[in-house]
A and B are shown apart, each in its own frame.
Chain A
């Protein structure tokens, strides 16, 4: 068995457990982005309701929050708790999202942009939470306000002292108007913009969590809000320093460092960690294969590859070669992940074409063209002996299927399952294979985002190019498995071989 680093192994174990508990379509780890969006929606809607009752004045802020919490506990109080707990839950899903991308090595190479822009986005979320705590104007708010100001005072380029604003008589209602503006409008707008940048290089971005997962998460938040409602500390008092504070460690974890460190040291740590995280995609960099190539002679500009590309690396433009088609596609190499999904989506990747000469497709991967794959299948099938001859298609980001080769099994390691044109399955069955077994990344966890999904849709006839009806479905099996699930994969292959053997028996009879 090949070496799998312990971080990845640990992550895959957790993912396996959640697949068992939720199924792949509701697995929270496959929906961390949409789940975070869902929590933001809860924060947004509950925040709007809270704003109706919130008094943006020095004397009224705390009492209005007390009213929200205690007098109108049955709606506003629950809304406050939902607001807080959904904000906290969002931090967990964001951190899990980062951990997942790290554990699965999905932060380097062509993914650098999403990672690089995602790190500061987390800071925008954190600062949004911090200003939220200021608004309550309780002892915790005062602590956060003074220490935040001391942090700002630690920046060399800012003259004057922000902390001195918190001396008696210095704070006024305008302070709360400013904080209200920041928390309710300024920071959320910046955050939305940052998220837009973060997903800029992705196509078909999903922002809506699966309904079942959203309902479950909301019910869990609601139960927590009822069991442990969010409450304030005592009202802010400039003449008092409370000995104990119940910090929200998701947002306020940096402040206790100021007990023993100077503001400058805390900034160095925060900026150092941020800088390191942002530079991680190049420590070391990851090599990306050669970008896809368009062969205009074989391209009719159907745009399917542009629709299927998970990274928006293909665009459509007016025909430049004078051919009778209206459009042609163009690959942008700096965006291309070299996943090969475009080759799988191209109608001209049909291996039945040009059987006697080189197969050239409309769009192809120069390092592993469809023609070479067809030759490999031909050669592999010719060498197979015994009964129940199988072709196994896998992807290079899951179990290495070359290890499964046997006297009656040949295999092809695609870059991604989405790279398989459905006609290739038909081709293998037509040219001597008794069955085609397809594995690859776990369902819902395609390394190249949409490869599994597009492939399934092609087989179900919901996406072009479809698997034709004449292909015998009983001789096609899909079983997806992570690298750690070699044993289960082998067992499934053995089971499939038995099924094929039964089919053969029936056919003979």
Chain B
């Protein structure tokens, strides 16, 4: 009984310290993902580059020698081109990268999902990609004035089907 007299308050104190730690670290300190005047731009694409070597037209004679399920009019090497991409905001390079195709034979596509913090406000967005190693410079490009609100998340997506950029 004597021990209970001092143990109960001490136990309450210990539980309080423990739960204070649980509460504090469950929400604090707050994590600042962005400054108050910042927004986020995400550049994303899922795309397969052009064949590195030029495809060769297969003659009718050669086609007939092949089993029916393998008769393709064009013969292409497996290797795909790396994809070069660049995104600029007011002439400031935000993102610039050359991504190699996946796969042991580099015959797969690439996927990019890259988020970059930027200042909110009005900007000129300039984005381009090149998916053919045999061509120099931008192949698909897009320029657009944008206005970013603080905390806005703008997604710039390259649509392979239409070879165009979708900005949302």
Contact = CB atoms under 8 A, between A and B. Distances in A.
Interface residues of B, number: 43
A184 interface: no
Q: Binding site of B, secondary structure by majority: helix, strand, loop or mixed?
A: mixed
Contacts of B10: 20-22
B22 A85 contact: yes
A248 B21 CA distance: 12
B112 A21 contact: no
B74 to A, nearest CB: 25
A244 B23 CA distance: 18
B1 to A, nearest CB: 13
A244 B31 contact: yes
Contacts of B108: 159
Contact of A21 (B7, B21, B33, B152): B7
Nearest to A213: B11
B151 A164 contact: no
Interface stretch (B37-45, B65-73, B133-141): B37-45
Nearest to A242: B151
B46 A164 contact: yes
B150 interface: yes
B40 A241 contact: yes
A150 B18 contact: no
Interface residues of A, number: 48
Interface stretch (A58-66, A220-228, A313-321, A469-477): A220-228
Main secondary structure of the interface of A (DSSP, over half): helix
A92 B150 contact: no
Contacts of B28: 246
Contacts of A159: 102, 108
A264 to B, nearest CB: 14
Interface in A230-251: 230, 237-250
A23 interface: yes
B22 A224 contact: yes
A161 interface: yes
Nearest to A220: B15
Nearest to A223: B19
Contact of A256 (B18, B31, B115): B31
Given A167-B157, A242-B33, A248-B26, 5 more contacts: A84-B26, A89-B22, A241-B34, A247-B30, A256-B31
